Amino acid sequence: MYIKIGKKRHSIYDVGFNTFNGIVMVFLMLVTLYPFLNTLAISFNEGIDAVRGGIHIWPREFSLQNYRAVFVGGTIYRAFFVSVARTVLAAVLNVFLTAMLAYCLSRKEYVLNRFITVAFVLTMYFNAGLIPNYQLIRSLNLLNNFWVYVLPAMISAFNVIVVRTYIQTIPESLIESAKLDGAGDFKIFMRIIFPLTKPALAVVGMFTIIYQWNNWFDTLLYAPSKQSLSTLQYELQKLLASSFQQNTSARATSSLSAELASDMVTPVSIQAAITVVAMVPVLCVYPVLQRYFIAGLNVGGVKE
């Protein structure tokens, strides 16, 4: 009897709690999704009409003008390919080099193991800073050079540690028996370890892709006026900056604005279209890698 009353009282609490929880979740979904849907709607809306405002999640006057302007102009088209190139190249290099070093550091008998581990782990705690790094890039002749996107970020200590931890869970006997068959370390790495490390490497690959694709700061710093090296994110950054300038009634100097002046598009609508283009690849990658990513994240987190 007592339990029954207890149960009944709890169920009232439960109803209350569930309602509250539901409201919070609906609010969260609205706040999260609205900006994306709104941007999407504006990008498909006729540019001058969009300036009137009042567009929420559906375009009022449907038009592909903005996307045409984005891809016909050449600037964005090119920037898109620079973004893709740097992302793909860096992701491949990162995954391979991280796995290779992580394998070496997972070998307990390796004489340089400790030294290399310490050298890498220390880099997680300090950074020479903006100006010394700039000097380095300049002395390596990487200013205004495509490789400035890839070379400085080829491997990260954190990823190496995560992947090494993962490799340590692979049974030692696999490696022992391969050694007895006469396989060298490189062969063992390529044939056995690399395929078995896929879940952890998927995480490394994904974070590299996100980092590379979203980076605009290295362009601003190391190749600000070299149009052929501009990336999508950097073009967006220039548009954002020039939207401030317009507010203070100064003229925008972005080469893009000159290109746009001839079209029937406005900065806001073109910004929306580029934003959508800049979001699509990342949004395509993340549900695919999500499965691996949560597993890998947990592995790295628990063992550290």
Please, what is the minimum distance in Å from the beta carbon of residue 1 to other proteins? 13
Instruction: Identify which of residues 100 and 202 has a Cβ nearer to other proteins in the complex.
Output: 100
Instruction: Identify which of residues 5 and 261 has a Cβ nearer to other proteins in the complex.
Output: 5
| β-pair partners for 62 | 45
The interface with other proteins within residues 263-292 (CB under 8 A) comprises: 268, 271, 275, 278-279, 282-283, 286-287, 290
Instruction: Determine if 261 is a binding residue for other proteins (CB under 8 A).
Output: no
- Identified binder of other proteins from the candidate list 1, 4, 8, 125, rule CB under 8 A: 125
Each residue of 125-143: b (16+ CB within 10 Å) or e?
eeeeeeeeeeeebeeeebe
Instruction: Determine if 97 is a binding residue for other proteins (CB under 8 A).
Output: yes
d(CA 181, CA 165): 26
Instruction: Determine if 85 is a binding residue for other proteins (CB under 8 A).
Output: no
Part in contact with other proteins (CB under 8 A); list of ranges 6-14, 65-73, 85-93, 192-200: 6-14
Instruction: Determine if 171 is a binding residue for other proteins (CB under 8 A).
Output: no
Instruction: Determine if 233 is a binding residue for other proteins (CB under 8 A).
Output: yes
Q: How far apart are the first and last CA of the chain?
A: 50
Please, what is the minimum distance in Å from the beta carbon of residue 3 to other proteins? 8
Part in contact with other proteins (CB under 8 A); list of ranges 64-72, 96-104, 197-205, 251-259: 96-104
CA 289 to chain centre: 12
Look-up: residue for tokens 């793909």? 88
User: CB-hemisphere CA count at 13 Å for 120?
Assistant: 21
Instruction: Identify which of residues 262 and 297 has a Cβ nearer to other proteins in the complex.
Output: 297
The closest alpha carbon to 175, from 201, 197, 148, belongs to 197
Instruction: Identify which of residues 3 and 262 has a Cβ nearer to other proteins in the complex.
Output: 3
- Identified binder of other proteins from the candidate list 38, 145, 255, 257, rule CB under 8 A: 38
Please, what is the minimum distance in Å from the beta carbon of residue 175 to other proteins? 12
Instruction: Determine if 225 is a binding residue for other proteins (CB under 8 A).
Output: no
d(CA 36, CA 16): 31
Task: Give the type of residue at 221.
Answer: L
DSSP letters spanning 230-284: --HHHHHHHHHHHHHHHHTTPPP--HHHHHHHTTT--HHHHHHHHHHHHHHHHHH
